[in-house]
Structure 1
Amino acid sequence: MAVDLGDLTAFVTVARAGGFREGARGGGTSASSLSEAVRRLEARLGVRLLNRTTRSVAPTEAGARLLERLGPALGEVEAALDVVNGFRDRPAGTLRLNVPLSAARLVLPAIVPPFLAAYPEIRLEIVVEDGFVDVLAAGCDAGIRYDERLEQDMIAVPIGPRRQRFATAAAPSYLDRRGRPAHPRDLLAHDCLLGRFPSGSLTAPWEFERAGEIVRVDPSGPLIVRVGASDLIIAAAVAGTGIIHLFEDWLRPHLDSGVLEPVLEPWWQVFSGPFLYFPGRRHLPAPLRAFVDFIAARTP
């Protein structure tokens, strides 16, 4: 059965984006052309691939099965076509990275501008998503995650700071009112500000370490914020609502200005920095190879 590759690509684009307009925004085409391509594909296959409502577009069972198989296959097609990039003076094309919010906020700002300046023919697309992600199924070339969240059988390259800490802090007004914890277990008597991952689990327990002793506490408090709205939880801490536990680099400006005061600093846990990870292909797409080489040149 002969099927147009462009129609398959249009289906994958719409299914991943969750809509025709959303797919058009990211793909540099029109929603009507994507809709027509998907209609052609469905007519050719004789099966509905997408359920369409006024509010959403989602794959049918048949569409989900097709999407699952097409993602890696189209990735291989792109990799094959990318071979011609080796004959160009400079690499070109699109590089899609799937990264957590922390990396988008703390790691990439120092990397993206000089990378794009060095490779003006590369278009960089960043998908911000916390949690475990199959980068290929998500339509991305590579991802950034911390060690405990790396996918199996992936090549991992250090990116960003190699040593980071979780910091615990609160507004001086809160600590004057409620007291200053002397031990991590004291946090159980305090109002703590928590996050919730997309999976539904809380950003708890909080883990502390000093002189080889590890203490985990499961705090509670008046505010739970979905991961991704960290500015809100920081604002609540600055306002004196409770104690916050977050990346030190994220809180550093507020600690330096004095609007937040360190809590339990000798117990702040150190952890390794993030990694850029990607499938172990023999021939990496030229934009990804350029990015990997760029990162390697910056890593001490």
Structure 2
Amino acid sequence: MAELQDIGAFVAVARHGGFREAARQTDSSASQLSAAVRRLEAQLGVRLLNRTTRSVAATDAGQRLLEQLSPALDAVESALDVVNGFRERPAGRLRLNVPLSAARLVLPRVLPPFMAAYPEIVLEITVDDSFVDLLRSGCDAGIRYEERMEQDMVAIPIGPRMQRFALAASPAYLQQHGWPHKPQDLLQHTCLRGRFGSGAMPPWEFEHKGRKVVIEPQGPLIVSLGAGADLMVDAALAGSGLVYLFEDWLRPYMARGELEPVLERWWPSFTGPFLYYPGRRYLPAPLRAFVDFIPGLRW
């Protein structure tokens, strides 16, 4: 029977897509993980991982083994974590996968009081705006908006329950180009746009008194949504065009007069984000502490 440690090394490398990232996640070394995977492959007599200088990916045999092993290893981890309940305070590592908007607008209100209440829990935050398979990524939980969550997950509200998208421009831009009076006017303006990692470029949506308007604006700048959002805001501050983003993101600039709200009565509302995680009978103690902590916060 293969050593459980070698099996765990294979699962970590396969889930994280490489030895370096798996080593970082498991507090091990890439060379130790590589040796463990080689031992497992030698014992099984089959290659489990295809390795190149740039990437590591599971073979068909490795993928099938990973699918069979993951539920069993998760059950072992949950069983061992039950012991954590006998501690005075939960300890361990909590891995969260969140979009940039949550990292910027939600977690600053959550993490400081949580870390003060649970100093023995280590939080590891991965900022990622793409669709995420939590189990394959090795994360305990994620934060996403309703339409971008994985299916068959437990979800609880986190952060403000209603948010809005806002449209804004610098005073200099509006003085030079004039104010839009209705969403259709944006087709005659310079707009700063974002693109998802999938390549999709979301339209700008507006709503007023039950009437919805969808605009496909044009402009000289397209950035990746998430990582490039600050660049889009900087361009708007410099007078390069109109920016359409979370109201909470733009509100500080509007409060200082650096940006002016545009078409505010047309700003659309949407449901706030959710913390989501796999439905397990036993949650890891750090995640259980986090789940229980969230309802006590006020937004």
- TM above 0.5: yes
Answer whether contact 2:205 2:213 (CA < 8 A) is retained.
yes
Question: Which deviates more from structure 2 when the two are superposed, residues 278-287 or residues 100-109?
Answer: 278-287
Distance (Å, rounded) in 1 between the aligned partners of 2:80 and 2:298: 30
2:240 equivalent in structure 1: 241
Distance (Å, rounded) in 2 between the aligned partners of 1:54 and 1:266: 54
1:284 equivalent in structure 2: 283
Report sequence identity in percent.
68
Structure 2: gaps of 5 or more residues: none
Question: Which deviates more from structure 2 when the two are superposed, residues 18-27 or residues 253-262?
Answer: 18-27
- Count of residue pairs brought into register by the alignment: 298
- 1:252-284 superposed Cα distances (whole Å, 9 cap, x missing partner): 121112221111111111112111112222221
1:199 equivalent in structure 2: 198
2:115 equivalent in structure 1: 116
Distance (Å, rounded) in 2 between the aligned partners of 1:56 and 1:290: 36
SS of 1:136's equivalent in the other structure is helix
- 1:135-165 superposed Cα distances (whole Å, 9 cap, x missing partner): 2222221111112223222221111111211
Q: How does 1:1-300 map to 2 (within 5 A)?
A: 2-202=1-201, 204-227=202-225, 228-299=227-298
Structure 1 residues 68, 223: CA separation in 2 closer, same or farther (over 3 Å shift)? farther
Distance (Å, rounded) in 2 between the aligned partners of 1:181 and 1:66: 58
Distance (Å, rounded) in 2 between the aligned partners of 1:97 and 1:115: 14
Distance (Å, rounded) in 1 between the aligned partners of 2:74 and 2:190: 48
- 1:40-78 superposed Cα distances (whole Å, 9 cap, x missing partner): 111122222222222322223332333344334322221
Query: Normalising by structure 2, what TM-score?
Result: 0.94
Question: How far is 1:287 from its partner?
Answer: 0.9
Distance (Å, rounded) in 2 between the aligned partners of 1:122 and 1:15: 26
Query: Normalising by structure 1, what TM-score?
Result: 0.93
- 1:216-252 superposed Cα distances (whole Å, 9 cap, x missing partner): 1111211111122211111111112211100011111
Distance (Å, rounded) in 1 between the aligned partners of 2:186 and 2:229: 20
Question: How far is 1:105 from its partner?
Answer: 1.0
Question: How far is 1:291 from its partner?
Answer: 0.4
Distance (Å, rounded) in 1 between the aligned partners of 2:184 and 2:56: 48
SS of 1:296's equivalent in the other structure is helix
Answer whether contact 2:16 2:136 (CA < 8 A) is retained.
no
Answer whether contact 1:42 1:48 (CA < 8 A) is retained.
yes
The RMSD of aligned alpha carbons is: 1.7
Structure 1 residues 21, 282: CA separation in 2 closer, same or farther (over 3 Å shift)? closer
Runs of 4 or more above 4 Å deviation: none
Answer whether contact 2:16 2:138 (CA < 8 A) is retained.
no
Structure 1: gaps of 5 or more residues: none
Question: How far is 1:299 from its partner?
Answer: 4.7
Answer whether contact 2:99 2:127 (CA < 8 A) is retained.
yes
Structure 1 residues 18, 281: CA separation in 2 closer, same or farther (over 3 Å shift)? closer
Structure 1 residues 223, 69: CA separation in 2 closer, same or farther (over 3 Å shift)? farther
Question: How far is 1:167 from its partner?
Answer: 0.7
Distance (Å, rounded) in 2 between the aligned partners of 1:70 and 1:200: 34
SS of 1:137's equivalent in the other structure is helix
Distance (Å, rounded) in 1 between the aligned partners of 2:298 and 2:3: 43
Answer whether contact 2:167 2:244 (CA < 8 A) is retained.
yes
Question: Which deviates more from structure 2 when the two are superposed, residues 283-292 or residues 144-153?
Answer: 144-153
Question: How far is 1:22 from its partner?
Answer: 2.3
Answer whether contact 1:159 1:299 (CA < 8 A) is retained.
no
